[in-house]
Structure 1
Amino acid sequence: MNALGYSGMACLVVGAAGIASGQLRTHHFSGFVGAEFGFFAVDDLRRHNYLWALIDAAASAYFAWHWWKGGGGDDTKGRLREWGRKFQGVRRTAPSVA
């Protein structure tokens, strides 16, 4: 197992310890599991295991979605909204040729 595999397993161990101790809620655990599958997907791509890379990427996307919908991304959502408020649409007309 290489560094990516160990990083993925570390995410799982930290998340499981957080759930067992009551320090993490399930959507936070989903964030750790999503990161784990992300590390595994990169490792599988590096090893040319494309089927497993696809499976790991899909699992990573699912768990990231679960983390995001559970409130894990609230700070990120707020920053994106604040950043988006700075932009305002400008109405432009097509250039007319005389």
Structure 2
Amino acid sequence: MSIFIAQAVWFAVLGLAMGGLATGRLSQRQYLAGMAAATAIGAVVCVITHDTTWASVNSGSFAVIIWLWWQSGGGDDTKRRLRPLARRFSPVRRTAPSAS
């Protein structure tokens, strides 16, 4: 029964993302985020049902969609939050331990 709920959620997210883009209510980044969620849910559903072919297709689609989302500026907030952490990082040079 839970697999049917997961498939229904997958179809709902997919439909909402496509409908939102078609009506102009969602930007491209929001559409890509919705499609990424739909393909991630689809991959999990396929893994649960042991459908490895479609699980790999959904996983590959997820990777491409996340890359497109990141390239369209979707990860700017994440990049902004990581920048202060990168500034505080100061590498320390250490010699490797030698076996005696």
Shift of 1:95: 5.2
CA–CA separation in structure 1 for the residues paired with 2:78 and 2:25: 21
Q: Which residue of 1 aligns with 2:32?
A: 30
CA–CA separation in structure 2 for the residues paired with 1:79 and 1:18: 28
Percent identity, please: 36
Which letter does structure 2 place at the counterpart of 1:7?
Answer: V
Number of aligned residue pairs: give it. Answer: 97
Which letter does structure 2 place at the counterpart of 1:52?
Answer: W
1:40-81 CA deviation, whole Å, 9 max, x = no partner? Answer: 001100111111100110011111111111011111111122
Alignment of 1:85-96 (within 5 A): 85-94=87-96
Which letter does structure 2 place at the counterpart of 1:32?
Answer: G
CA–CA separation in structure 1 for the residues paired with 2:48 and 2:97: 50
**Residues 1:88 and 1:22: Cα distance change in structure 2 (over 3 Å):** same
Q: What 5-or-longer segments of structure 2 have no aligned partner?
A: none
Which letter does structure 1 place at the counterpart of 2:27?
Answer: R
- 1:15 alignment partner, one of 14, 17, 22: 17
- Alpha-carbon RMSD: 2.1
CA–CA separation in structure 2 for the residues paired with 1:10 and 1:19: 14
CA–CA separation in structure 2 for the residues paired with 1:33 and 1:95: 49
Question: Which secondary structure state, in structure 1, belongs to the residue aligned with residue 95 of structure 2?
Answer: coil
| TM-score, reference length from structure 1 | 0.82
Q: What 5-or-longer segments of structure 1 have no aligned partner?
A: none
1:59 aligns with 2:46: no
